[in-house]
């Protein structure tokens, strides 16, 4: 079950919200939320619910042992052991096939590689539980004494399978004694419906354009002209932001409706004029996790330049690997590591002298290239796509099929480009501010507040009912 499905919107979410309204006691609300979260997670495979519950138990026990042990080497060993167990479990399920395939390619063994199904959302809840254990070790949070309450934190269906990566300290108070008011319910409904429409209408539309131009058939991809590869890459660039940010929007919105306050995860990254700014705005919870739990413990910026560069490449190699068990993700991560090192150590004095619009265009071209690397897990397909992008496949710059694809989708893509900027947000704030001094604008603003969630739900339902194409990019995580 995914957020962008009729079953989820009109049945599951509705029943969940009714349960939160019906129960007045926070403990009963939490029990109901836990039941719904476990049902939601087990929908795609009940057996993996045991894995989620088991990993949560390991971290629950680990945190209790850490907190009950005097500060010292023993406490640190408990922390390392707990984190190591989590990473081993993640590694077995996510990376066994990847590593064995590479070993087989070099040494010819093993003859048979086991096919292990990736449990949905395992990367997200593993990182959340690791952050909880480490924060208990650091003394930043008190350990949760009740196992089922920690299981609620790990399994919250709002963000368990698609993020954001929520730290325990950010929701501990909400779990313990949350309150809901009408303003937050209204804001949550608005945020959820915007995210739903962003996914069902815009992201899925961009996905259709991208997949039509970036074929997974090597012969068809090799025949695509350079402009077709670029247009497909641009469409995928729009798709991946609209898709990822839509799930964060829906998670934040559902959280507000129930009294949970999740931090922002995307902040219009495509308006950036540097790669550093891009990563301050893109998948903020993931960037923050690697900064606080990998980069800073490695020494961060407190060491010499060579060590800083080493730390950066470790972080970005792991960031790439976190996204998927394939070499293209590692290349994608290291690609950003190189760009960040160039900005920080080579182009420090040069970049500020370049006009901002020029910097922005360069950043977006580099980002589009990065998403092409991200898209193709098959390295032969990736090589074909990159050759085609630079016109090295011998198919020229454009063609009839590319012109037709552009003509059929130009207005839709222009709208999507506008949608990934803060223009809509600024216009909304402008209308809200102007409505304070104008009766007609006040009523227009009030009507929009009531109408737009209904409008977005209707548009989303029409898109979902009329088209079975509803890709879920987070399956690989």
Closest CA to 55 of 141, 133, 2, 114: 133
Q: Which residue has the tokens 């949760």?
A: 144
The whole-angstrom separation of Cα 328 and Cα 325 is 9
**Cα 395–chain centre separation:** 35
pLDDT at residue 44, rounded to an integer:
73
Cβ contact 98:326 at 8 Å? yes
261 is catalytic: no
The whole-angstrom separation of Cα 98 and Cα 324 is 10
Catalytic annotation, pick one of 261, 323, 360, 452: 323
Burial 51-76 (b: 16+ CB within 10 A, else e): ebbebbebbbebbbbbbebeeeeebe
> Which burial class, exposed, middle or buried, applies to 108 when counting CB atoms under 10 A from its CB (0-12, 13-18, 19+)?
exposed
pLDDT at residue 470, rounded to an integer:
66
DSSP state letters, 254-289: HHHHHT--PPP----GGG-SSHHHHHHHSSHHHHHH
The whole-angstrom separation of Cα 65 and Cα 75 is 8
User: In 10 A of CB 433, how many CB atoms?
Assistant: 11
Supply the mean pLDDT for the chain: 93
Closest CA to 55 of 116, 115, 130, 117: 130
Cβ contact 228:399 at 8 Å? yes
Closest CA to 119 of 153, 92, 158, 82: 92
pLDDT at residue 476, rounded to an integer:
58
N- to C-terminal Cα separation, the chain: 15
Q: Give the pair of three-digit tokens for residue 331.
A: 């290349």
Cβ contact 352:344 at 8 Å? no
Q: Quick one: DSSP state of residue 118? A: P
pTM: 0.94
pLDDT < 70 positions in the chain: 466-477
pLDDT at residue 163, rounded to an integer:
80
The whole-angstrom separation of Cα 238 and Cα 214 is 14
pLDDT at residue 465, rounded to an integer:
83
Instruction: Describe the crossing of helices 73-107 and 122-138 by its angle, rounded to 10 degrees.
Output: 150
């Amino acid at each position: 079950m995914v957020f962008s499905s009729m079953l989820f919107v009109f049945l599951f979410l509705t029943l969940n919200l009714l349960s939160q309204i019906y129960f007045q006691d926070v403990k009963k609300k939490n029990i109901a939320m836990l039941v719904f979260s476990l049902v939601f997670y087990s929908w795609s495979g009940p057996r993996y619910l045991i894995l989620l519950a088991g990993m949560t138990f390991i971290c629950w026990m680990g945190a209790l042992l850490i907190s009950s042990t005097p500060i010292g080497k023993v406490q640190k060993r408990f922390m390392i052991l707990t984190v190591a167990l989590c990473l081993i479990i993640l590694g077995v399920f996510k990376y066994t096939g990847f590593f064995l395939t590479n070993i087989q390619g070099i040494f010819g063994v093993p003859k048979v590689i086991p096919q292990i199904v990736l449990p949905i959302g395992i990367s997200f809840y593993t990182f959340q539980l690791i952050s909880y254990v480490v924060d208990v070790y650091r003394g930043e949070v008190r350990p949760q004494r009740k196992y089922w309450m920690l299981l609620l934190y790990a399994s919250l269906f709002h963000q368990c399978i698609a993020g954001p990566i929520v730290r325990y300290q950010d929701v501990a108070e909400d779990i313990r004694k949350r309150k809901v008011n009408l303003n937050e319910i209204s804001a949550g409904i608005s945020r959820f419906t915007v995210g739903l429409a962003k996914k069902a209408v815009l992201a899925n539309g961009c996905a259709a354009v991208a997949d039509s131009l970036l074929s997974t058939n090597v012969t068809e991809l090799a025949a695509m002209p350079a402009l077709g590869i670029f247009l497909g890459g641009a469409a995928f660039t729009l798709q991946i932001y609209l898709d990822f940010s839509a799930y964060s929007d829906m998670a934040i919105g559902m959280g507000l409706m129930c009294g949970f306050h999740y931090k922002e995860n995307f902040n219009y990254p495509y308006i950036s004029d540097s790669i550093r700014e891009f990563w301050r705005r893109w998948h903020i919870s993931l960037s923050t996790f690697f900064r606080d739990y990998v980069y800073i413990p490695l020494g961060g910026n407190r060491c010499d330049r060579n060590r800083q560069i080493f730390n950066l490449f470790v972080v970005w190699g792991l960031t790439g690997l976190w996204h998927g068990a394939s070499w293209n993700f590692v290349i994608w991560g290291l690609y950003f590591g190189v760009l960040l090192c160039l900005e920080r150590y080579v182009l420090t004095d040069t970049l500020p002298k370049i006009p901002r619009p020029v910097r922005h265009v360069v950043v977006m071209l580099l980002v589009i290239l990065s998403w092409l690397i991200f898209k193709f897990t098959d390295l032969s397909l990736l090589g074909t796509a990159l050759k085609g992008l630079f016109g090295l496949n011998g198919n020229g710059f454009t063609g009839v099929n590319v012109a037709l694809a552009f003509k059929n989708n130009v207005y839709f893509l222009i709208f999507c480009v506008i949608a990934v900027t803060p223009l809509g947000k600024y216009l909304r704030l402008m209308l809200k501010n102007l409505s304070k001094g104008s009766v007609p604008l006040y009523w227009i603003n009030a009507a929009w507040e009531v109408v737009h969630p209904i409008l977005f739900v209707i548009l989303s339902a029409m898109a979902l009912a009329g088209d079975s194409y509803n890709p879920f990019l987070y399956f690989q995580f």
